[in-house]
Structure 1
């Protein structure tokens, strides 16, 4: 640590906002979720798209996380970290009583920020801390409101102690960018501290809405928690007058820049002047978010989890200068971008009408992959410093192409397609060329399950390649590439048939983990043994697992050399043929029943049901829900969705953990896939076709629902709503859309003896597809 004192560039302190009496930032958004004093040692986040805070729900900032060991918490403005954390001490000047605010009685989570409540840290004194990160600004606002419960006025000192850690994001050291000591400088004119990394242009600045009466740096500062790193300790002390039975508020701002101190100063001044306006703007953005694709359903727990899933997605949006905007994977360990995670999460964004973020995310993946690969391959993991740490697993290229097709269905916009289509053509060639050495249409290479030695022709890779070919057929048509369209269409049909022939196990009534030779199966067993022994799998039954794979390897070694499908792990991705609907119906239903009966735990499919019957994830359960939806089994699908809902708030109020029920990342982007796609695409039955300015509707309500509605769902340039009301012998569907030139096609299974009334007119015949005009339509079906 290096500490310097200097009067920096002159600032106009009078323009800063002084603390106000009893005015709190959370007045604009009153609905939050409390931890009720529980889970104090669990993490939280207050996030904007440019910055976020991660700490514990007791108000402290312990060293947390593994990617940058112990450094994943604190205050971040990617691609840099700003602080390890901050701690506040208050003292009654008259009595001398003092206390650190380090054990919050309650934590309340809001979409836009969080509140921590400290009951009575001093006699007759209560404190609340509210914090939020404005969107578009690399900075953080923290507000402390002190309330005096005594009949006489009092004077309180408040010490704000901070530990800087101006340092780079994960995977910087490997590229030659190393963290250096922080240089701390005091600005007496502005009453602020500035810190910068000694060897890089990264800067942060912090201060409060009134002048400090004392400042300390270095060894003179006491911190309630000791933290690692090359940062520096600094504290600011303020004198606060508390009126009798009154309150006062002080506002702190921390601002950062990865480029220079001038920019950090500009952000700081902006946040001090406009923090109230920025909070109102942030609240408005969340209200808009919640109104878009808004659902009202009988199951209020499901409705709450659905709403907060959309909120969680906003928390994970990362904007980084020089790279772009995209959906990060999860907090706290994976705030950067992944090809695999986003190919699921983007589908959830589309289902809830968050079209712009879906497009931004896909564009970021495309641009960064083009830079590092340039051959159609989509990168797996991209740090916020722009470093690609894995150039891409095979499945991700196929899945990306599929998602671009989904985006086109929702937007009908060819501008983005025109930009990425050449790379998509390269991607198909890469999958069926370099990655298909034996030319059997099954690309080789790692897929979603990153198990050592499982570098074979995996089921998920084959299935998503088939889906990529279907999407590429549509995209080639949009680009008038008739030769490619015909080729992709023919290959998609052929690959679908080959998957159902070669990957199906009659013995197991399941699809296989992979297709390959006996040598491939032996390699997979050896890799699994090595992975278990190296401790890469967090399973206490190491000996049992090694024995299982050793016995399996011994059995395979005795078999004659042959190519076939292999069921070794029963990884959850064997569900992908049902998820995508390419499995024949009778086979699919039988397999879905087997999975539910034999391969599921309390929260859905085990990740590897053959041996590791402990771990479950929201994505696996979500994929299973979609698979059930594909075959019209909505009640079964909602059972899986309900399992995700059960885990809501078990770590962080308002969020769902990656690993079910309560560990891994405490909020995860791809959870939205299982929470939103089954509801929007299948329960409400919204099948977009913006390409032809129409929407196909095929609602399938759970048997115990009598009503429900989805409102304000964007599809292309249209906005659409649907409500469903069930009575004893009648079902009424009300459809409203903004654009009258758009068409609605309502799909229903004709039931003998039923009568169908469209806008009051009885329909003749046996209607299966009912066209509707623009505007408002009412369909009534009477038994």
Structure 2
């Protein structure tokens, strides 16, 4: 495997669970009881190859990190500091959180009076690690792990030899506040956030924020270890080396680096310990625990994780080893993409969140604060991005779903749809409209019935249900979601004031100057109707199936003549203006959605238009070093003019926006793959892989960010901590996992109807690609595709019962001389698809099979 410059820590690459634990120095092999408790997971972990760990030593103070569990997470800088971070609640989006509340601004350690700062940061599957410089050149390690299922963080401080006695000081500064309100909403955190109080219970620092009145609450955070400290102190500061704190102003300009947000009203405390460190070293574990249900609940969480930290760490690493074990790929011609698949699976697992007792209300874009309309007892979701978007989005998850199923992470994305449905039903009264954005306390910022737009989420909901149903064969999930999916499409098709078939409302581009009808909404409406028709037919609902197919067919017939802009634009219109469906062309990334959206019969765009449109988007007016721009450059009437090259003569009314979002690049990669353009596709899969894995580009090693360095977007580490994009964003995984699993390996399950098609397409110049333990329903699939001379070979092991269709995409212009299945001549058929000419053979119901296609 080719390494990206010095990024893999040599001692920990491809290490099984026990080796990781031992190499970290935080524990030896798990105790027998711990091993027995997690024996199946431990065995799975030891069998599986991990993605290794990645390390960074440069500019650690300028780089953010994220450590997550499903009930708690932490955001800080890689040098061990906690700068004021984020913009939703200005300066307060970092630190320690347990949704729906923030707990601490940060946690700092000093040994013998010297505050510790990191010299190396290490990112691993399920943990982060910093190597710290101690007094006299001693080495100290800090390991941060968020145990899943716990509203707590574990922080292990490992002091190496020689034998000695040391004084350890631990500073913590609280900031108990809720995920909503934000800094500019009505009300804002300026009035809602109350002063914290600090205390000491004999072992732990205890912080509280208590409110009475219309919205009573008792927030609590507890910081301590299983050891009893020698002493403690309380006060307004206690931020370690970040004292005295630089407070961010409410508005820019701001200092290059702040320590607290303008709404901060936290309290501080210090714990002091005397530790005897043996020659072999010693690890001391600390817990940061919290609850929005009071001190007793927070204390209980702390005790639970401190009861056996080694067991909690072992379980976390074992769970991440299970993630690594699924959908393992072997891409000899593209080792960077292979590694990106491994890390993207971990990024998805990092993004799973859960909160309880969501009191749902619509804030009307932050302008109202009404009483709750209802409660969701348990919400589980795939968070969008850290630190400013870790909550519930429909748009993000509906793209991320493709990566989730390809990675075999079915449960989180199912839970996300359940959460969306539950919140939408409460706030929208059964209309079928899907909410857009929800914080983990139940605030619906946008997406209520009387909010304008956000039509695309509702159109994509039935497609996401159908996607999950095809990959899992879970009829119960289909049935659970079916009624809401029907109402979602009824809602979308009803948003058509001029009765032209194209719903009004916002799509994924929220920019000025667009017409009322958006291209991506039109595309996803057609796909949603076709997918709903399949769901309906599988349930025997002929009426809905007929209605949905008729609605889709009407729109498909009119699609190309209505939306293709033509001329040297070589693109679809971004939107239509009313009256008269005037075509508006602005070069937004959503112009790719006709090529990206795969209907049951293939992608929507006509092949000739798709080829022209994709070739145009590959040019430098649309594509930069790391992928696709949000809005391409060209002639424009916008006051600033055109900052880049021109690929067409159309005069747009909007400026270029040459910011490369990982989602834009993902959509381009998928669109290329839908039309068999696997050579150009590599430019875009590589773009997303590099911002995740190239040390010259990454902010946090292994984490795919929201936006890549671009002509119009300065790299995150060059920006202040208040205005950066997400350091980890889930949706970019769509552009890595789906192109490899669905398009290159050709895995196309339809398990809801008992069928599985495996038709690989070898990228140009590749002789072999393979995938192992690809999760499908309750089984799995191994697939290997090779080319040797004139023979294409596809070998599978399908550990599930499904009607199996094997095939291969033929090289352009190739003919077939012979086809053999398991060594015997077999009848085959050929079909022409958007991917190219495919040869297909029925191979029974699962099992091991080898297809050989001899080319003429």
TM-score range, shorter chain: 0.7 to 0.9
Match of 2:588 in 1: 571
Match of 1:417 in 2: 478
CA separation in 2, counterparts of 1:613 and 1:361?
A: 31
Match of 1:534 in 2: none
Deviation of 1:305 after TM superposition, in Å, equals 1.1
Deviation of 1:504 after TM superposition, in Å, equals 0.6
1:382-415 Cα distance to aligned partner (Å, 9 max, x none) = 1000111001601111011211121121122222
CA separation in 1, counterparts of 2:757 and 2:557?
A: 27
Match of 1:590 among 602, 609, 612: 612
Match of 2:337 in 1: 302
Aligned residue runs from structure 1 range 40-51, under 5 A? 40-51=61-72
Match of 2:834 in 1: none
1:190-238 Cα distance to aligned partner (Å, 9 max, x none) = x112111132221121212321111000158463212341111100000
Deviation of 1:176 after TM superposition, in Å, equals 8.6
CA separation in 2, counterparts of 1:464 and 1:219?
A: 53
Aligned residue runs from structure 1 range 393-472, under 5 A? 393-433=454-494, 435-454=495-514, 456-472=516-532
| Pair 1:209-2:223 in alignment | no
Match of 1:726 among 766, 787, 790: 787
Aligned residue runs from structure 1 range 353-752, under 5 A? 353-373=408-428, 374-391=430-447, 393-433=454-494, 435-454=495-514, 456-507=516-567, 508-517=569-578, 562-567=580-585, 569-580=586-597, 581-597=603-619, 598-610=621-633, 611-649=655-693, 650-661=698-709, 662-663=715-716, 664-739=725-800, 741-748=801-808, 751-752=814-815
Which secondary structure state, in structure 2, belongs to the residue aligned with residue 170 of structure 1? Answer: coil
Deviation of 1:599 after TM superposition, in Å, equals 2.0
Which secondary structure state, in structure 2, belongs to the residue aligned with residue 163 of structure 1? Answer: strand
Which secondary structure state, in structure 2, belongs to the residue aligned with residue 647 of structure 1? Answer: helix
Distance 1:709 1:21, change over 3 A: closer
Match of 1:100 among 111, 115, 121: 115
Partners of 2:501 and 2:555 within 8 A in 1: yes
Match of 2:130 in 1: 116
Partners of 2:819 and 2:851 within 8 A in 1: yes
Distance 1:338 1:272, change over 3 A: same
CA separation in 1, counterparts of 2:318 and 2:239?
A: 39
Distance 1:346 1:221, change over 3 A: closer
Deviation of 1:614 after TM superposition, in Å, equals 2.1
CA separation in 1, counterparts of 2:522 and 2:28?
A: 50
Which secondary structure state, in structure 1, belongs to the residue aligned with residue 176 of structure 2? Answer: strand
Aligned residue runs from structure 1 range 342-357, under 5 A? 342-357=397-412
Deviates more, 1:581-590 or 1:610-619: 610-619
Match of 1:171 among 175, 181, 187: 181
Match of 2:825 in 1: 762
Partners of 1:89 and 1:160 within 8 A in 2: yes
| Pair 1:34-2:36 in alignment | no
| Pair 1:135-2:148 in alignment | yes
Unaligned regions of 5+ residues in structure 1, if any? 1-19, 92-97, 519-561
Match of 1:194 among 185, 206, 211: 206
Partners of 1:83 and 1:166 within 8 A in 2: yes
Deviates more, 1:154-163 or 1:193-202: 193-202
CA separation in 2, counterparts of 1:238 and 1:138?
A: 25
Deviates more, 1:297-306 or 1:164-173: 164-173
Distance 1:186 1:617, change over 3 A: same
Deviates more, 1:163-172 or 1:250-259: 163-172
Partners of 2:237 and 2:267 within 8 A in 1: no
Match of 1:778 in 2: 850
1:267-297 Cα distance to aligned partner (Å, 9 max, x none) = 1111111221111111111111011111111
CA separation in 2, counterparts of 1:242 and 1:354?
A: 42
1:676-713 Cα distance to aligned partner (Å, 9 max, x none) = 11111110001111022221112111112211211112
| Pair 1:158-2:195 in alignment | no
Match of 2:270 in 1: 235
Deviation of 1:327 after TM superposition, in Å, equals 0.3
1:154-200 Cα distance to aligned partner (Å, 9 max, x none) = 32101001101111113377479822111222112xx1121111322
Match of 1:538 in 2: none
CA separation in 2, counterparts of 1:607 and 1:105?
A: 36
Deviation of 1:30 after TM superposition, in Å, equals 9.8
Partners of 1:166 and 1:231 within 8 A in 2: yes
Deviation of 1:355 after TM superposition, in Å, equals 1.2
Deviation of 1:735 after TM superposition, in Å, equals 0.6
Match of 1:14 in 2: none
CA separation in 2, counterparts of 1:221 and 1:413?
A: 52
Moved over 6 A (4+): 26-30
CA separation in 2, counterparts of 1:682 and 1:21?
A: 38
CA separation in 2, counterparts of 1:441 and 1:607?
A: 27
Match of 1:549 in 2: none
Q: CA RMSD in A?
A: 2.1
Unaligned regions of 5+ residues in structure 2, if any? 1-21, 31-49, 212-216, 246-259, 357-376, 448-452, 598-602, 634-654, 710-714, 717-724, 831-838
Which secondary structure state, in structure 2, belongs to the residue aligned with residue 426 of structure 1? Answer: helix
Deviation of 1:454 after TM superposition, in Å, equals 3.1
Partners of 1:204 and 1:257 within 8 A in 2: yes
Aligned residue runs from structure 1 range 259-338, under 5 A? 259-298=293-332, 299-321=334-356, 322-338=377-393
CA separation in 1, counterparts of 2:153 and 2:816?
A: 63
Partners of 1:34 and 1:109 within 8 A in 2: yes
CA separation in 2, counterparts of 1:632 and 1:746?
A: 18
Which secondary structure state, in structure 2, belongs to the residue aligned with residue 362 of structure 1? Answer: helix
Give the TM-score of the pair, scaled to structure 1: 0.87
Deviates more, 1:688-697 or 1:658-667: 658-667
Match of 2:240 in 1: 223
Give the TM-score of the pair, scaled to structure 2: 0.79
Which secondary structure state, in structure 1, belongs to the residue aligned with residue 783 of structure 2? Answer: strand
